[in-house]
Every structure is written in structure tokens, then in C-alpha cells.
Structure 1
Amino acid sequence: MGGFFMAQNKHADRFSSTGFIMSAVGSAVGLGNMWKFPYVTGQYGGAAFFLLFMVCLVLVGLPILLAELAVGRGGRGNASSSLTKLSGSKSWGALGFLSVAGSFFIMSFYGIVAGWTLHYAVLSFTGELFSTQDYAGLFGRFMNSWLPIGWQLVVMLVTALVLIRGVSEGIERFNKVLIPSLVVLLLLLAVQALSLEGAGEGISFFLKPDFSKLTAESALVALGQAFFSMSLGMGTMVTYGAYVQKSQSLGKATIAVGVGNVLYALLAGLIIFPTIFVFSIEPTQGAGLVFIALPAAFSAMPLGAVFGGLFFVLLAFAAITSAVSVLEVPVAYASETFGWSRPVAVMLVGLLCFLAGVPSALSLGEDPWLSFGGRALFDWVDFVCSNVVLPISGLVITIFAGYVWKGVADEARLSQAWFRIWLFMLRFVAPVLVLLVLLYYAGVIRI
């Protein structure tokens, strides 16, 4: 294998216990929690959906997360080589490569959206964002310019600078600064949102369950949200698992990451829902909610420019902590497979990823030349990666850990009772539920 990854092992460039948990939480909490979570929660039942999401997190998210971490630490390699090493078969390695490719293309469009958050943070703090009332026009003009590509490049450079420094000096140190900062921003914005006059209606919608709103579709969407919100299927947790010390309890780490993910989603809801109810904003607007409707709400608040700026900084922090983990997957693969040094791997993979994202960024403008089948190229890449590649990759890990890998018990190191429960979930519950997610989001199941 390549020289870099062997050097990683030789010099034991590993996470500390705290650093790993912060980095894993940073990977799991991203734009989806602040952007997609309020959207689907508002659409599929409010507090009842949130409770269903937590149940699905226990049934799907936590078992697969633990499996990915165990595979990574057991294989001490990237998302592909770990499966090859543990199974003794290149076929499993080829299946593992699917998550590597998925991460590469996810980063190609995730960096674009992360760039939007940086741009809007600057617009908010400079006051330019609130110099107009035409927020839809402002967003449209931005999307039809070359600025998204410039901000995408900024995101890629920041991510690359973190990764070049390695695991303990780069990824861990970065997350040890940004994750506490993220918590502070979340708390500040939550207090501000909860103090708005009329915020009680939004709090009630988010925290008071109405189970009559739940449907079969709600259950499938909650399953998907539980799966996607934990960064599963991307190879990120397998890759991070390779950097975890043997003394680390993977069971406790899995619980910590799951709790961190739920708390982040909870605080995000306490920011978004009071705000949108006070200002009569429809919570099911997708991108329009964050970049069109919420700026209008901030403009009507006291110190709106400050809180608006903090909100977009929060989004940017969440986006970049996830971007670091996503880009690390193809970087680790390239380093190990081709023997590249970390700086070379980061620069080459980062450049290729940026170039792959440029057509997606351009496809979101008014010119339809990069749109086909009723979707922009950006949406196609998002759809295929998120709704097809990630669930398939999640199924691969679930089946591998549940049925193929004989050393899974030694690596997971759970008590006998908990191991039996976990293995049952991996073999009989999680695969069925992830398959349902795959069939639903791919459009095979329609409700």
C-alpha cells in the first residue's frame, strides 16, 4: 500500500478521545440539520415527526454508525481497503469504493452550498443583505453570477488547509475550535429566537406532538433523515474510525455522536420554528427558507444584521466541519492507493473536486444548458449521491458487519447482551429499513 497511510500508522496520527467525538459530531451535524431538518419537520408533522426521527435514529442511525466505526478501526484503512483487508476479498473493497466516489461527488456540490452561507454571512455583516427587500431577486442574481464558484473555491481552500495538517493537528484541532463555537452560536440564536414576541406558537408546533399528522410517508422520511443526518454511507465514519485509538469505547462514542446530533437538531428547531411562526413564513420552502425568507425575518428584528450574520456564520461552521470529513474520504483513499503524501493528495483531490463542482454551480443559473430531465445538474448529482449511492453504501456496511466480518465482536467490544441486540439490529432491522429508504427516495415506492 501507499507510503502515506503506512506513515500514518507508524507515527500513530490518531484522534484523542475528545477530539474524535468532536470531529465525528462535526461530520454528522451539517447544513442538513439546519436546512433540511426544519423543512421536513414542518412538512411531516412537527413534534410528532421529531420523536419519530429519534426512534429511527436508534433503529438505523446508531447501529450503522457503530458498524462503520468498527470497520474503520478494524481495517485501519480507507473506506475501500478496510473492507478488502477484513474480508480478504477485493470485491468487498470495490463495494467500499462506492462510498469513496459518493463522498467525492457530494463534496463537489456540498462546497457550493457551503459557499452560499459564507457569502450571505458577509452580506449580512456588511449590511448589504438588508439594503433591499427583494430577497428572492438578490438570491437569483447571486446564482446567475460567477460568485458561487468563487465562494466554492474559498470553501475548498479552507477545507484543504485543515486536511493538509493531518488528523490530530488538522482535523482534530479544527473541530475542537469550531464545535464549541457552534454550540455558543446555537445557544445565542436559540435564546434570541425564543425571546421573540409570539414565539410560543412555533415552540408548540416543534415540541407538542400531534400524532394524527403522521403518515406512512412521514415514517419513510424520518428514516431517511435519521440515516442522512449521521453522515452514514459516505465512508466518513469508516475513515474516521481508522484514526480512533484502540482504547476508545466505540459504543460510548456512538451514543455521544447520536446525542450531539439530536441536540443540534433540537436547537436548530428552536431557532427556526419560533422565527418562522412569528414572521408567518412557510417552513417547507427548502433553499428559499434559508436564503430568502429568513433574511426577510432578520431584517424585521432588532439587531437583525448581527443575528443574521451570526446565523449564516453558524451555517458556514456546520458546513465546513462536515466538508472536512467528506473530503478526507477520497484524500485517504488517494493517499493509500497511490502512495501520495498528504499535501499532494489534498491538493490534487481538492482541485479535482472543485472542478467537478463548477458545472453543478453553473447549472443553477437561468441558462438551462446544464439541465436535463427536468432537473439541473446540481440536483441530479445530489439526487444520485444522496438517494442511491449513500443508502447502497449503508447496506454494504450493514451486511458486511452483520454477516461477513467474523471479528466484528472483538472490535465493537460491547457487553454480550448489547452485542446481541446490536447484531440483531444489523442483520434484521437496519437492512430492511435502509432498503425502504433507498426504494422511497429513488422513487420506486410511492405513497
Structure 2
Amino acid sequence: MAAVPAGQHAHWSSRFAFILAAVGSAVGLGNLWRFPFQTGENGGSAFVLIYIGCVVLFALPVLIAEIAIGRHAQQSAISSTRKMAQEAGKSANWAIVGWVCTAGGFLVLTTYSVIAGQVMAYAASGFAGGFAQPDGANLFYQGEFIQLAWHAGFMLITILIVARGLKGGIEQVATFLMPLFFVMLIGLTIYSLISGAAGEAITYLFTPDFTAVTGNTFVAALGQAFFSVSVASAIMITYGSYLSKDTNIGSSSILIASADTAVALIAGLMIFPIVFMVGIDPGAGMGLIFTALPAVFADMPAGNIIGGAFFALAFIAAITSSISLLEGTVAFVEEHSDFSRPTAAWLLGFFAFMIGAGAVWSSEFGGVFVDWLSGSFLLPLGGLLVAVFTGWVIPKALMRDELSHASNGLFAFFHFSVKFIVPPAIGFILLLGLDAKFNGGNIGSLLGLG
């Protein structure tokens, strides 16, 4: 197979472009959709504090590790882990780290696109006046063929952006959409705080009630931290490979993780004032976004516009994440085949669409099997392997050289974490996921997590 020469490897035009793209990847539906219902189901403000701790202790070190791997080898996730292992005198089989992360990220895309298609449909329904009608949110999302069409439309947009390359596609989209995203997010949050029950929302999010904490709160917080920051899915290894050697990985990673966490918290301030204003149960689960909020928008002044803008905001978050999920696989295929980037993007995008189509036709296949395989198995396994790889396999001196801009304190925290803290924590999450899938959650029940 033909490999792309190292000199042809693309690079970000600036550190600012990298930060925007990486933040765009991290800021996705996990912030606007998953974080609010996870908070509602797991004790409110106590969950928020534990979540922030998990981001700092677990997700941030893995984020630093992934960017460092990619920047060092300047190749796709699979090739980067293989090259770094060989340079360290270790087996090339450590490329399994890249394979697991890439497979996990690709499978996430397949079902992520289905959910994002529904987001697109709800945005269109809102702006078309659908929220003013009974079940109007589903105005453009009724029937499996229609749902399939929205899934196809979202995947088409993703493919077209990735096919244009790093600077002409991913970077341009990120530098345009992310500032727009933050303007819309702040605007909608201000509106929600003024119009809704701001005091109750702030109390709920920021006044800890540790009596509500159970073992499952820690499990959910750690899982949300990894899901939200976009680690263990080959994204940050791939994006790191486009970085120049003079970029400070440590400070960039802190900025990315901080921005992602801030968006999650602001999203809570955007959603929960409305939730408390109308008396919706904050623990309503996944239906909070696709069932409860559309019903609220229907009774609000200018609810169609506000609701349409909310789902348009979610669409921006989804597309900046989906292009990074597809890019990880496209980068490898382009690097190790004779396919051009557009051909690789169309081919892999079609495969992702077909798997997602299976999710539309069968919730058992998509919502249960594919979601479990990617979210509960491959992503935790990928995070575990990244930590073991950078903490135990790659010499400490090599990692210190790659993270030369980091302070001694930050590097000491990073290396101690990926070596001693992250592996057992993720291993525990992985064990619980396997236990829930194949053992009826018996271990979790014994530990008080059932």
C-alpha cells in the first residue's frame, strides 16, 4: 500500500485554528444533550463537581497523551502508535491502541449521525412553526424513511467537509462555526436565565448535595468526562498530528478541556431554568431534549424561534464533532492506500451511513448493540490503552521531550496520572460495562451501583 510521504502531511495554519477545531470536536451533543440529563439523573450539583474532578484527573491527562502521540509521529492514530512504539524499541503490535480508538470513534459516528439528523429535523420544524402544533417537533421527522433521509443529509454534510481536507474543510468550518456557536449559546442562556427559573437552576447546578451521591454518580461522571472531551476515539491523536512542534500541548489541552467543561455548565444554565419554570423533572433522561423541551417551546412566546435556534445550536455542535470522528478514519485510509481524500471520505461516510441506517430500522441494533460496543466498550478500552501506552510502554524521557513546553509540575501530574490513576479508573468503568452487558449488573449491585 502506498503511504503519504511525511512531507505531505497537512498542518494547521495556526494554533488558534487547532484550538477552535479541537474545541469544536469536544463540544458536541455530549454537552447540550447528554450532560443535562446525566446531571438530572445523578444528583445535580454533586454530579457537576465530581464531573469536573473527573475531567481534571482522568480526561485531561489522556487528552495530553493523545495530542502528544499524534504530534510526535505526524501520522494517523494507528500509524502514530505503531511508529512511537517502534522508536521506543517496543513491539509494533502496540498499534492496537490506534486501532481500538479509531474503531470506537468510527462506530460513535454511525449512531451520532442518526441523533444529529433528528436535531436537524427539529431545527427545521421549529423555524417552520412546528412547535406551535401538537407533536409539532416531529413535523419533519415522522416515519423511518424520513428519519433515514435526515441521517443521510447530516452524513452528506460531514463527508463534504472532510473531503475538502484540513485547511479547506475542517479548519474553515471550525473557524466560522465555533464563534457563531458561542454567540448563540450565550444569547440563549441569557434569554433562559431572564425568562426562566434562574435561581432554582443555579442552586441545582452549583449547590452540592452529597446525600444524593451514590457509587453510580462517580461512574456516570467519569463516563461523561471521557465522552465529552473527545478522548479515546482517535480524534485528538489525528488532530495532534497536524500540530507544529512549537505548540505548547499542555496549555492547549487545558484550554480545550476548560472550554468543553464551560460549555457543559453553560448548557445547564440554558436548559434548567426552562425545566424548572414549567416543572419538568430534571431527571427525565434522554427525553429531556427531544420530548420535554419541544413541549415547553410550544407554550413559550416566540417559542418556534427559540426552539429552532436551540436545535440549530445543537446542529453546529454535532457537525463540528462528526467531522472529527470521520477524519480519524479517513486520515488512515488516505495514508495507507491509493485512495484520494475525497474517495476515502465518500467510501467511509457511506459505510457509516449504512451502519447508522441499521440503527434507524432497528433500535436493538443501533441503540443497544452499536451504542454499547462503541460507548461502553471500545471508548473505555481505548482510553485505558492510551494511558498504559504513554505511562508504561513509552519511556518517560521520550514523553518529556514531546511535552517540553509543559512545566515540571504539569508533566509530573500528567505522567503520574496516566501511569497510576487513569488505568485503574477506566478499567473499573470497563468492568462495570461488561458486567452490566453480560452479567446482569451483579458486580455493580454488590458494590451499590445497581
Q: Is residue 2:384 matched to residue 1:395?
A: yes
Could you give the per-residue CA deviations for residues 57-91 of structure 1, whole angstroms, max 9, x where no partner exists? 11001000000000011111111111111112331
Q: Is residue 2:2 matched to residue 1:2?
A: yes
- Cα drift, residue 168 of structure 1: 1.9
Aligned counterparts of 1:415 and 1:311: Cα–Cα separation in 2: 40
- Cα drift, residue 143 of structure 1: 5.6
Q: Select 1:76's aligned residue among 74, 81, 86.
A: 74
Contact 2:101 2:382 in 1 (8 A): yes
More divergent stretch after superposition (200-209 vs 274-283): 200-209
- Cα drift, residue 135 of structure 1: 6.0
Q: What is the aligned residue count?
A: 432
- Cα drift, residue 173 of structure 1: 1.2
Matches for 1:399-418 after TM superposition, within 5 Å? 399-406=388-395, 407-413=398-404, 414-418=406-410
Matches for 1:205-354 after TM superposition, within 5 Å? 205-354=204-353
Q: Counterpart in 1 of 2:98?
A: 96
Name stretches of at least 5 consecutive residues in structure 1 with no aligned partner.
Answer: 365-370
Contact 1:73 1:242 in 2 (8 A): yes
| Matched AA of 1:410 | D
Contact 2:43 2:213 in 1 (8 A): yes
Contact 2:9 2:74 in 1 (8 A): no
Q: Counterpart in 1 of 2:366?
A: 377
Aligned counterparts of 1:301 and 1:358: Cα–Cα separation in 2: 34
| Matched AA of 2:225 | A
Q: Counterpart in 2 of 1:124?
A: 126
Q: Counterpart in 2 of 1:368?
A: none
Distance 1:79 1:202, change over 3 A: same
Aligned counterparts of 2:318 and 2:219: Cα–Cα separation in 1: 25
Q: Is residue 2:425 matched to residue 1:436?
A: no
- Cα drift, residue 302 of structure 1: 1.2
Q: Is residue 2:87 matched to residue 1:85?
A: no
Name stretches of at least 5 consecutive residues in structure 2 with no aligned partner.
Answer: none
Aligned counterparts of 1:171 and 1:165: Cα–Cα separation in 2: 8
Aligned counterparts of 2:263 and 2:272: Cα–Cα separation in 1: 14
| Matched AA of 2:123 | A
Aligned counterparts of 2:224 and 2:10: Cα–Cα separation in 1: 35
Q: Counterpart in 2 of 1:367?
A: none
Contact 2:51 2:222 in 1 (8 A): yes
Contact 2:37 2:283 in 1 (8 A): yes
- Cα drift, residue 325 of structure 1: 0.4
Q: Counterpart in 2 of 1:65?
A: 63
- Cα drift, residue 316 of structure 1: 0.5
- Cα drift, residue 247 of structure 1: 1.1
Q: Is residue 2:170 matched to residue 1:171?
A: yes
Q: What is the DSSP-based 3-state SS (H/G/I as helix, E as strand, rest coil) of the residue aligned with 1:53?
A: helix
Q: Where in structure 1 do 4 or more consecutive aligned residues deviate above 4 Å?
A: none
Distance 1:317 1:78, change over 3 A: same
- Cα drift, residue 230 of structure 1: 0.8
| Matched AA of 2:103 | A
Could you give the per-residue CA deviations for residues 384-410 of structure 1, whole angstroms, max 9, x where no partner exists? 100100011111111111111122111
Aligned counterparts of 2:144 and 2:165: Cα–Cα separation in 1: 35
Could you give the per-residue CA deviations for residues 222-264 of structure 1, whole angstroms, max 9, x where no partner exists? 1111111111110100111101111110001101101101110
Contact 1:25 1:260 in 2 (8 A): yes
Aligned counterparts of 2:196 and 2:390: Cα–Cα separation in 1: 51
| Matched AA of 1:411 | E
Could you give the per-residue CA deviations for residues 256-306 of structure 1, whole angstroms, max 9, x where no partner exists? 101101110111000111111111112233332111110111111111111
More divergent stretch after superposition (284-293 vs 268-277): 284-293
Aligned counterparts of 2:376 and 2:30: Cα–Cα separation in 1: 14
Aligned counterparts of 1:98 and 1:68: Cα–Cα separation in 2: 13
- Cα drift, residue 377 of structure 1: 3.3
For normalisation by structure 2, the TM-score amounts to 0.92
Contact 2:250 2:410 in 1 (8 A): no
Amino-acid identity (%): 38
Distance 1:299 1:281, change over 3 A: same
Q: Is residue 2:110 matched to residue 1:108?
A: yes
Could you give the per-residue CA deviations for residues 313-362 of structure 1, whole angstroms, max 9, x where no partner exists? 01100011100100001111111121321111111111111122111111
Aligned counterparts of 1:147 and 1:6: Cα–Cα separation in 2: 43
Contact 1:44 1:214 in 2 (8 A): yes
Contact 1:394 1:434 in 2 (8 A): yes
Q: What is the DSSP-based 3-state SS (H/G/I as helix, E as strand, rest coil) of the residue aligned with 1:340?
A: coil
| Matched AA of 1:209 | P
- Cα drift, residue 15 of structure 1: 4.5
Aligned counterparts of 1:30 and 1:435: Cα–Cα separation in 2: 25
Q: Counterpart in 2 of 1:157?
A: 156
Aligned counterparts of 1:409 and 1:29: Cα–Cα separation in 2: 28
Aligned counterparts of 1:267 and 1:299: Cα–Cα separation in 2: 23
Distance 1:393 1:146, change over 3 A: same
Q: Say what the alpha-carbon RMSD is for the aligned residues.
A: 1.8
Contact 1:15 1:245 in 2 (8 A): no
| Matched AA of 1:36 | R
Aligned counterparts of 2:107 and 2:47: Cα–Cα separation in 1: 30
Could you give the per-residue CA deviations for residues 368-392 of structure 1, whole angstroms, max 9, x where no partner exists? xxx3xxxx43321011100100011
